[in-house]
């Protein structure tokens, strides 16, 4: 079967059809591979009904309303509340208020997590091995995550290890588990896009540009919650399979 780099391969599993985007050939440069994967993911997302293309000003982003069930949201909130501890950062930051939320890594074998992983895999088509462990996050009033990129900055000391363990982060999928009373918007200040959290909704964005290079326009932040609480889950995808043994990574 001839498949283009980044083309879609369909295979029949036990009683259901699964399709995955095929990893592009290794002889391409890393950026060309990332670009080919992005092209295939974009084509797949755009084929879907009930997806809103929120791309603008050099940022590629999509919103899928009602992506999760209410049951998923309730179950995930319970898991986050049971496991939450102060959110970490991959590299120390001079600003102690840079990321003030609480987080936990969700166990991939917990039933609600398995359900959501399967739905995300079906949406994105990215081979599951390319995805990091889903992280849950809880923001109380005043808590936030200041502007940052999800891609790795390759001039940082952490990069050598990340390059070995799956390489660059490509896409981010973030689902809103509740609707905070006020605030907590996800804002892309340079791209001038602001998403108001809505229970069950999914926000997906590409951290690399059309050439497969890290895209500065993907700069984003979780604005402070002003009333109520905000719960989200985040899944970061890598350009290559991510080694679980390397341990969970923060932003
Ligand atoms: O909470 C948000 O709106 C943003 C979270 C975020 O940027 C992240 O988890 O990488
Ligand atoms: Fe982020």
Ligand 1 atom with the smallest distance to the CA of 184 is 3
* Model pTM score: 0.90
Q: Is 249 in the pocket of ligand 1 (CB under 6 A)?
A: no
Asked if residue 206 has its Cβ within 6 Å of ligand 1, the reply is no
Q: Which of 84, 87, 137 to mutate to test the pocket of ligand 1 (most atoms within 8 A of CB)?
A: 137
Q: 227: CA distance to ligand 1 center in Å? A: 18
Residues in the chain with pLDDT < 50? 1-3, 6-9, 11-17, 250-251
214 pairs with which residues across the strands? 208
Beta strands in 100-201 (DSSP E): 102-105, 135-139, 145-148, 169-176, 182-183, 186-188, 193-195
**234 close to ligand 1 (CB < 6 Angstrom):** yes
**Residue burial 204-213, b: 16+ Cβ < 10 Å; e: rest:** bbbbbbeebe
Q: In this structure, which residues have their CB less than 5 angstroms from ion ligand 2? A: 150
3-state secondary structure of 48: coil
Pair of tokens at residue 156: 């940082």
pLDDT at 245: 53
Helix (H, G, I), strand (E, B) or coil at 38: helix
- Cα–Cα dist 93/58, whole Å: 27
Query: Using a 6 Å cutoff on CB, does residue 222 contact ligand 1?
Result: yes
Hey, how many other C-beta atoms are within 10 angstroms of the C-beta on 91?
A: 12
143 Cβ below 6 A of ligand 1 = no
Q: Which atom of ligand 1 is nearest to the CA of 220?
A: 7
**Closest residue (by CA) to atom 5 of ligand 1?**
222
Domains and CATH numbers, the chain: 52-246 (2.60.120.620)
Instruction: Give the per-residue pLDDT at 247.
Output: 54
Asked if 4 and 37 count as a contact pair (C-beta separation under 8 A), the reply is no
Q: Check if 176 has its Cβ closer than 6 Å to any atom of ligand 1.
A: no
Q: Is 20 in the pocket of ligand 1 (CB under 6 A)?
A: no
Supply the pLDDT for residue 88.
79
Pocket lining: 151 vs ligand 1, CB cutoff 6 Å: no
ipTM tops 0.95: yes
Give the C-alpha separation, 190 to 249, whole Å.
25
Q: Which atom of ligand 1 lies nearest, measured to the CA of 236?
A: 10
Query: What are the DSSP calls for 65-119, one per residue?
Result: TT-S-HHHHHHHHHHHHHH-EE---SS--S-TTSB--EEEEPPTTSHHHHHHHHH
Q: What is the pLDDT of residue 246?
A: 55
């Amino acid at each position: 079967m001839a498949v283009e780099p980044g083309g879609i391969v369909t295979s029949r599993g036990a009683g259901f059809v699964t399709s995955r985007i095929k990893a592009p050939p290794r002889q391409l440069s890393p950026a060309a591979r990332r670009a080919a994967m992005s092209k295939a993911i974009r084509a797949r997302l755009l084929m879907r009904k009930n997806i809103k293309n929120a791309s603008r000003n050099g940022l590629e982003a999509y919103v899928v309303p009602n992506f999760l069930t209410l049951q998923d949201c309730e179950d995930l909130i319970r898991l986050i509340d049971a496991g939450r501890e102060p959110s970490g950062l991959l590299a120390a930051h001079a600003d102690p208020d840079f990321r003030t939320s609480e987080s936990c890594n969700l166990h991939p074998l917990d039933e609600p997590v398995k359900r959501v992983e399967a739905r995300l895999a079906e949406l994105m088509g990215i081979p599951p091995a390319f995805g990091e462990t889903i992280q849950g996050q809880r923001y109380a009033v005043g808590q936030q995550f200041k502007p940052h990129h999800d891609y790795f900055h390759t001039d940082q000391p952490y990069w050598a290890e990340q390059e070995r363990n799956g390489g660059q982060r490509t896409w981010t999928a973030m689902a809103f588990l509740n609707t905070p009373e006020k605030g907590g918007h996800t804002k892309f200040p340079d791209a001038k896009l602001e998403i108001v959290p809505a229970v069950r909704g999914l926000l997906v964005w590409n951290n690399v540009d059309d050439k497969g290079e890290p895209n500065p326009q993907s700069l984003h932040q979780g604005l402070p919650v002003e009333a109520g609480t905000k719960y989200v889950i985040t899944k970061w995808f890598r350009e290559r399979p991510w080694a679980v043994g390397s341990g969970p990574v923060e932003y």
